[in-house]
Amino acid sequence: MSDDAKTLLEVNGIEVIYNHVILVLKGVSLLVPEGGIVALLGANGAGKTTTLKAVSNLLRAERGEVTKGLIEFRGERVDRMTPSDLVKRGVIQVMEGRHCFGHLTIEENLLTGAYTRSVSRAEIRADLERVYGFFPRLKLRRGSQAGYTSGGEQQMTAIGRALMARPSMILLDEPSMGLAPQIVEEIFEIVKNLNAKEKVSFLLAEQNTMVALRFADFGYILENGRVVMEGTARALSENEDVKEFYLGISTAGRKSFRDSKHYRRRKRWLS
């Protein structure tokens, strides 16, 4: 990621409240540059999904609300738009847990992704082939009901479906969840490929820090609704604290209880 790359998405100090009372994000800021893959890391419940949904405006369906801060896409405020408006502007979310349409076939699932576009059938056909080019497996299973396909195939379907909207940015939530390591690898390779060939930028929420940092250029670590650390993927994967607490690698021998307490203290201080 070069420093002078244009900013695609800017999230500035957002606060999110669920049900009018539950404060979940306490001022999250992040940037996604044009053409970047940015990882949003953190444990279960840290607020990753909430952040992505705040951007894509899917929060309202969960009775969540952005109460403070600012979200801009290509310099335009997007926090009052409908998800549909956002998709038309090129931002689309692939939800955690894939959420394929179980009773539709794989191909029908993909076609629903083109709903917001008013283009010719031929063009949609061509896009379908393009998606099959990235996911040859889906072509083989195009006629199967999505509900009966494997987790990996469903994840591919969900990403392919998003691609059919011709997005410039995909908000990808936990693509590795519940998948075997080599499938995870396959999916991240495709993400990298899409990023390189189709110029799609990614904001990627992951608990699987190891894989995410290998494929991302930049990362943010979220804890309790706050960004506690940020840096290039390289810097993060070499950081001792990240190694210890997120990658499970301890360099200084066995980690002592006191060290971890120290870390927690420092973390609180950081935030």
Partner 1 sequence: MDFFQQKWMTWILIGILGIGAFAPLYAGDARFPQWLEVVLGGLMSGVLYSLVALGLVLIFKASGVFNFAQGAMVLFAALSLVRLMEFMPLAVALVVTMAIMVAVAWVIERLVLRPLVNQEGIVLFMATLGIAYFLDGLGQTIWGSDIYTLDVGMPKVPKILLENVFEGGILVGMEDVIAAILAATLVGLLALFFQKTSTGRALRAVADDHQAAQSIGIPLNRIWVIVWSVSGLVALVAGIIWGSKLGVQFSLQLVALKALPVVILGGFTSIPGAIVGGLIIGLGEKLSEVYLGPYLGGGIENWFAYVLALVFLLFRPEGLFGERHIDRV
Ligand X SMILES: Nc1ncnc2c1ncn2[C@@H]1O[C@H](COP(=O)(O)OP(=O)(O)O)[C@@H](O)[C@H]1O
Q: Which residues bind Mg ion (CB under 5 A)?
A: 48-49, 96
Instruction: Enumerate binding residues for partner 1 (CB under 8 A).
Output: 56, 58, 60-61, 63, 82-84, 86-88, 92-95, 99-104, 108-109, 111-116, 145, 147-148, 151, 154, 161-162, 165, 178
Q: Is 269 exposed, middle or buried (0-12, 13-18, 19+ CB in 10 A)?
A: exposed
Q: Is 20 exposed, middle or buried (0-12, 13-18, 19+ CB in 10 A)?
A: exposed
The reply to whether 24 sits near ligand X by the rule CB under 6 A is yes
The reply to whether 50 sits near ligand X by the rule CB under 6 A is yes
The reply to whether 45 sits near ligand X by the rule CB under 6 A is yes
Buried/exposed code over 139-170 (b: 16+ C-beta within 10 A; e: otherwise): eebbeebbeebeebbbbbbbbbbbbbbbbbbb
Among 33, 35, 36, 47, contact with ligand X (rule: CB under 6 A): 47
**Nearest Cα residue to 138 out of 148, 149, 147, 127:** 149
CA–CA distance, 199 with 187 (Å, rounded to integer): 17
# residues near ligand X by CB under 6 A: 14
Q: Which stretch binds ligand X (CB under 6 A): 4-12, 18-26, 158-166, 248-256?
A: 18-26
Contacts of 21 (CB under 8 A, 6+ apart): none
Quote the least distance from Cβ 28 to Mg ion, whole Å.
14
Of 146 and 227, nearer to partner 1 (C-beta) is 146
The reply to whether 49 sits near ligand X by the rule CB under 6 A is yes
Residues lying near ligand X in the complex (CB under 6 A): 18-19, 22, 24, 42, 44-50, 62, 64
